[in-house]
Amino acid sequence: MRSSTHAAYLFGGLLVACGVMGCGAGSSAFTSPDFYQPYPIWKAWLVLAGGLLLTLSIGYWIYRFSSREQLINRLVAERTSALQESEERFRTVLANLPGVVYRIQNDEAFTTLFVSDAIAELAGFPAADFLTGARHHLDIVHPDDQALVRQKVGEAAAIGNAFNLEYRVITREGEVRWVFDRGQGAFDASGRLRWLDGVQFDITERVKAESEMRRIYSAVEDYSDGVVLAGEKGQALYVNMAFGNLFKHNLESLQQAGLQSLFAKPEEASEIVRSLLNGAAWDGEVEMTTGTGEPCPILLRGAPTLDDRFNVVGFSCVFTDLTERKKLEGQLLHSQKMESVGHLAAGIAHEINTPIQFVGDNLKFLQEAFRDFLLLLAQYRELKSHLKEDSTTLLESLAQGEEKLDVEYLRREVPKALEQSLDGMQRVSNIVRAMKEFSHPGETEKSSVDINHAIETTITIARNEWKYVAEIETRFDSSLPLVSCFPGDFNQVMLNLIVNSAQAIAEANKDKPGQKGRIVIATQADNAVVEIRISDNGTGIPEDVRSKIFSPFFTTKEVGKGTGQGLSLAYNIIVKKHHGDIRFETQVGQGTTFVIRIPMAAEEDGVTIS
């Protein structure tokens, strides 16, 4: 470009030189003394050529200067457009930044030299307010934070460092918001601070989240139950104070020992960890060891921790010490059992009194008959001693004695009286044995139980509750194996359900005197589970109360006829203590069937968390 320009200048110069020379030669010809002499043609052409060259050179230079001006104008336009585009890009960048960009003077009020439009979104004031001096940067800073801002900015600027501050600002609407301010001083060649450049970010939501996290942390730390947070490999990341107090472990010692070391059966804990890390929650009772080495029943509730893409990144567990609750539940169960025994006492007394009464009558009969029999026996002995003598009188006396004693009657009735007495005593024995089995103190360990026999025992105990309103039919699976359970607790559940069935039948037949209902109790094995079904043809359960019947203290019975604890305790015993299931099938006006399912073998409660 530069070489072509130089060539153009050289060519223009040659044109001018030739034109001047041509014109000079022509003028000298016209001014010579021989002007009026015949003029040679070549001189005329020379003058004409010189004039033409001069005209061309002048035109050429006019064109060149005109093109240069256009070039300059075009370059100015291009530079102006580029500058505008750059400014637009700068504005776009500022507009898209998630914060407020500013330049302020380092004066008392932090006078604003520049601020991006994002200030309006942060503080509610337009940027023009700050740029015109109507409002200064420090005006929106919370009064309680202004001294801190001045101090920290001044300290950083004094040594040429950047500053990072978090403080509050007050918006146009009076709302308090938090900002993170990062800035840097700009210095001239002499080292004098000229201004401060920086950017502010609205961190209100982050501060709120951090505050909420602190509250949650405080609540978790002060929570009465033990809490453990674990990572994606099951490693402990956090333990709260209650966990430390119960198990005598802090985070470091727990990480070294491993959470599974606290379980009575550590190998079982791996099942819980696998379940939690696979995304499934876990809720159940486990046996653990406290920091003092004592066994402790624990309600363990675990839940997986998910990231924003629902990937499992760990889990949390809550450990509730059930020691006191177990004691209270045991006391409550024993109290209800005693209440049941007290409630059944009158019926049991009646059940015992009936066989005792006819046993007593039979014994009196046998006593009198035996006394008469002894008299007759004495007469026979006397006859024997006088057989060689005249015994006519004695024989007559014996005949009269036999007639009076009615030996034939005794021969028939004495065996019956003895049989009835033995049966009565057996019934009394059965009732006493059933009472003993039923009211036996609650066991702390499961034992192998004949479920069919346990149900028979409860039927005997509750006989006076159902015999006037229903017949009981049993359909027992004779091949049923022994079942691992708490026998006293199981008996209590059966008693509650049998009494409930009898009361439902009594309510259904209250307008039908003398009509009896039917209770059917069936057992069967279903793989590794024993199923017990207690069916009645009573009133059924209304739909509006079905969701509440296992709730504590809920009852539909009249005052004095129910405490609302029977089905609640039944649920706790079957579901929580035996890891089984209790449900019901019902139809209003047709009756109800309660279905109980209990694992035959003892189900292990423990689990492992590493």
Encoded amino acid at 510, one letter: K
Considering only CA atoms, which of 18, 23, 9 is closest in space to residue 64?
Answer: 9
**Tens digit of each residue's pLDDT (9 = 90 or more) over 585-597:** 999 989 999 999 9
Distance CA 600, CA 577 (A): 13
**Tens digit of each residue's pLDDT (9 = 90 or more) over 341-356:** 656 665 666 666 677 7
Residue 201 near residue 99 (C-beta atoms within 8 A): yes
* Token representation of residue 60: 């050429």
3-state secondary structure 67-93: HHHHHHHHHHHHHHHHHHHHHHHHHHH
If you average pLDDT over residues 411-435, what whole number do you get?
A: 71
DSSP code at position 244: H
Which residues have a Cβ under 8 Å from the Cβ of 337 and sit 6 or more positions away? 438, 439, 488, 492
Phi, psi dihedral angles at 305 (to 5 degrees): -100, 125
- pTM here? 0.46
pLDDT computed for residue 604 by the predictor: 47
Q: Using the predicted structure, report yes or no on whether residue 10 has a pLDDT greater than 60.
A: no
pLDDT computed for residue 193 by the predictor: 84
pLDDT computed for residue 146 by the predictor: 92
| Banded pLDDT at 610 (limits 50, 70, 90) | very low
Q: At what angle do helices 41-96 and 2-30 cross, to 10 degrees?
A: 150
Distance CA 509, CA 162 (A): 90
| Banded pLDDT at 60 (limits 50, 70, 90) | low
Q: Is 34 exposed, middle or buried (0-12, 13-18, 19+ CB in 10 A)?
A: exposed
| Banded pLDDT at 35 (limits 50, 70, 90) | very low
E strands, 188-324, where?
193-202, 226-231, 236-239, 282-289, 295-306, 312-321
**Tens digit of each residue's pLDDT (9 = 90 or more) over 537-548:** 998 988 888 877
Q: Using the predicted structure, report yes or no on whether residue 329 has a pLDDT greater than 80.
A: no
Distance CA 249, CA 233 (A): 20
Q: Using the predicted structure, report yes or no on whether residue 229 has a pLDDT greater than 80.
A: yes
pLDDT computed for residue 474 by the predictor: 94
Q: Using the predicted structure, report yes or no on whether residue 305 has a pLDDT greater than 60.
A: yes
Q: Using the predicted structure, report yes or no on whether residue 133 has a pLDDT greater than 80.
A: yes
282 in helix, strand or coil? strand
b/e 294-303 (16+ beta carbons within 10 angstroms → b): eebbbbbebe
pLDDT computed for residue 59 by the predictor: 63
| Banded pLDDT at 395 (limits 50, 70, 90) | low
Distance CA 101, CA 182 (A): 10
Report which of residues 8 and 462 the model is more confident about: 462
pLDDT computed for residue 565 by the predictor: 64
Least confident of 26-35, 261-270, 384-393: 26-35
Residue 330 near residue 398 (C-beta atoms within 8 A): no
- The rounded mean pLDDT for the chain is 78
If you average pLDDT over residues 596-602, what whole number do you get?
A: 85
Q: Using the predicted structure, report yes or no on whether residue 176 has a pLDDT greater than 90.
A: yes
Least confident of 171-180, 341-350, 415-424, 486-495: 341-350
Place of tokens 């486990």: 286
